Amino acid sequence: MSETDLPTEPPSAEVPLVLLHAFPLDARMWDPVRAPLAERLRVITPDQRGLGRSPLPETDAEPSLAHAARDVVALLDKLGLDQVVIGGCSMGGYLAMAVLREAPERVAGLILIDTKATSDTPEAAEMREVVAKRAEEEGVAGWLADANLPKLLADTASPDVVTRVRELIDAQPPSGVAWASRAIRTRPDSVELLRETEIPALVIVGERDILTPLEDANTMVEALPNATLVVVPEAGHLSSLEAPASVVEAILGWYPVS
């Protein structure tokens, strides 16, 4: 396919949307956007392995987002879906790119929300192992939320949002948190993967996201041949929780919804 043959329109509203959640949360992070999106689209919001209500399989395999990507593909098989739009926030974005790497024929479009395509620095990778070990040794209640809330949310986030994010973090199984932290730690750089894809993409970033700021969003937009960028005013890393109406508007504005 030549550059002039690249698809110029996002998938139709008949193509379901799969939204993959951030770390260390679960699919309930999509609650503020799920209902309004579901009025126009079929929306699927699974818990990733080991988090929320999804069990952590017993395996000796090293943690890898490739395994989690196969979980997503297996879910699509179970639901009888040949193609979907894959969207994800933060770790969910990493997983969306892992699905694209694992089964590109199943991905009709990408929605990358407050995430990045580059791999961890050595320092970040070391810290993820520290988090994994502490979760295994101490559980996650209290300290994991305290460590993450200042980075996940803008200082303008409402008290209700702060409380909800804390509740979601405290509710996660320590074993799942440890597995996910190690899986993120070993993810590959995906910039070249995005550069080679031919599918339409939407990149959304909170204006106040300090974990994956506009610079990271621009890197993905520049790599993707057919991307749309939306910056959400006043939002931090969890823009779907902090500014759900803006995220819904961005997604429905990108989909050609009738």
pLDDT digits over 156-205, tens only?
A: 999 999 999 999 999 999 999 999 999 999 999 999 999 999 899 999 99
In the structure encoding, which two tokens stand for residue 153, read together? 């949310």
* Contact between residue 87 and residue 110 where contact means Cβ atoms under 8 Å apart: yes
**Residue 256: pLDDT above 80?**
no
Query: What pLDDT shows up at residue 16?
Result: 96
Question: What is the CB neighbour count within 10 angstroms for residue 14?
Answer: 8
Query: CATH assignment of 3-254?
Result: 3.40.50.1820
Query: What pLDDT shows up at residue 149?
Result: 96
- What percent of the chain has a predicted confidence (pLDDT) above 70? 94
Across the chain, the runs of DSSP E, i.e. the strands, are 17-20, 43-44, 84-89, 107-113, 201-206, 227-232
Query: What pLDDT shows up at residue 89?
Result: 98
In the chain, where the domains are located: 3-254
CA separation, residue 134 to residues 21, 54, 181 (Å): 22, 21, 11
Its pTM stands at 0.93
Please report, to the nearest 10 degrees, the dihedral formed by the alpha carbons of residues 49, 54, 60, 63 taken in order. Answer: 20
Query: What pLDDT shows up at residue 12?
Result: 63
How far apart CA 56 and CA 246 sit, in angstroms, is: 33
Contacts of 130 (CB under 8 A, 6+ apart): none
Q: Can you tell me which residue has the tokens 């996650």?
A: 140
Query: What pLDDT shows up at residue 60?
Result: 79
Give the pLDDT band (50/70/90) at residue 59.
confident
Q: Report residue 232: phi and psi, to 5°.
A: -95, 115
How far apart CA 207 and CA 73 sit, in angstroms, is: 32
Contacts of 222 (CB under 8 A, 6+ apart): none
Query: What pLDDT shows up at residue 4?
Result: 31
Query: What pLDDT shows up at residue 61?
Result: 87
Residue by residue, DSSP assigns 91-118 as: HHHHHHHHHHHH-GGGEEEEEEES--SS
How far apart CA 176 and CA 50 sit, in angstroms, is: 4
**Residue 68: pLDDT above 60?**
yes
**Residue 246: pLDDT above 80?**
yes
How far apart CA 117 and CA 124 sit, in angstroms, is: 15
